[in-house]
Amino acid sequence: MGWNDKSGKKNGVEERGFDLVVGDHTVPGVYWAPIDIPSERLVLLGHGGTAHKKAEYIVEIAEMFATEGIASMAIDGPGHGDRAGGGSAKNVNAFVKMWHDGGGTDLILEDWRASLDFIEGEMGPRPTGWWGLSMGTMMGLPMTATDDRIKVALLGLMGTEGPNAKDLLKLAPNVTCPVRFLVQWDDELVSRQSALDLFDALGTSKKTLHANPGPHQAVPRFESRASVEYIDRYLR
């Protein structure tokens, strides 16, 4: 397994699909790189619950990174997208079940590491960051805490109450790279206090919290743009 035939070019970005066998399952992934400029840096994009690796906002972020000469990659989360049995969780309980049935924190860490190994094998190692909110933080905080290839992370929209809250609280003190952490002040899915507590638990001294009014999915566009600038700065 490796690159598949799901490739294409759009908005100055080349997209290439891949499938990897990790343990007893297959991990569907995608890699984006700017077409006309070299990409000497890489960002891992973790999608949110009920979305998938090529959700519209993930592709948009990939295109923003490409503009800065930064390649990116994504894989489907547990039970999401093109995974076996993948679908879209219809409510919070279904989402929690998908997360655990999909193997939870340990398995998704294996999947991300294998995927990063694959891309590094193909393209060579490069300064690498993480970008992921909500379930993208459920995956990304553990990855950032345990894989020293991750040099900077954009995290947020998650707290100490989700399906892998215990893992997040245990691993947060091990996050030592710069982190920007986004909070939606009126988040209906993640309680404000729980999000603040998770930020509080991060071990790095280079952490900044940005909070904006509005519900879970209403992250302002200026924060998305600024998050790309932020990661860009720390991968130089």
Cα separation values, 96 from 54, 63, 86, 106, 228, Å:
21, 30, 14, 15, 29
Using CB under 8 A as the binding rule, whether residue 205 contacts a copy of itself is answered as yes
Angle between helices 135-146 and 92-101 (to 10 degrees): 30
* DSSP conformation class of 217: T
CB of 182 to a copy of itself, least distance (A): 10
**DSSP-assigned beta bridge partners for residue 10:** 13
CB of 90 to a copy of itself, least distance (A): 30
Whichever of 26 and 212 has its CB closer to a copy of itself, that residue is 212
Out of 207, 217, 224, 234, which residue is the one contacting a copy of itself (CB under 8 A)? Answer: 207
Q: Buried b vs exposed e over 98-121: b needs ≥16 C-beta within 10 Å?
A: bbeebbbbeebbebbebbbebbee
Out of 88, 174, 212, 224, which residue is the one contacting a copy of itself (CB under 8 A)? Answer: 212
Whichever of 81 and 178 has its CB closer to a copy of itself, that residue is 178
Whichever of 169 and 209 has its CB closer to a copy of itself, that residue is 209
Whichever of 188 and 200 has its CB closer to a copy of itself, that residue is 200
- Region near a copy of itself per CB under 8 A, out of 7-15, 88-96, 103-111, 196-204: 196-204
Neighbours of 22 (CB within 10 A): 19
Using CB under 8 A as the binding rule, whether residue 208 contacts a copy of itself is answered as yes
CB of 45 to a copy of itself, least distance (A): 23
Token pair for 59: 């592709």
Using CB under 8 A as the binding rule, whether residue 211 contacts a copy of itself is answered as yes
CB of 127 to a copy of itself, least distance (A): 20
DSSP secondary structure string for all residues of 14-76? EEEEEEEEETTEEEEEEEEEESSS---EEEEEEPPTT--TT-HHHHHHHHHHHHTTEEEEEEP
The site string for a copy of itself over 67-106 (x = CB under 8 A, - otherwise) reads: ----------------------------------------
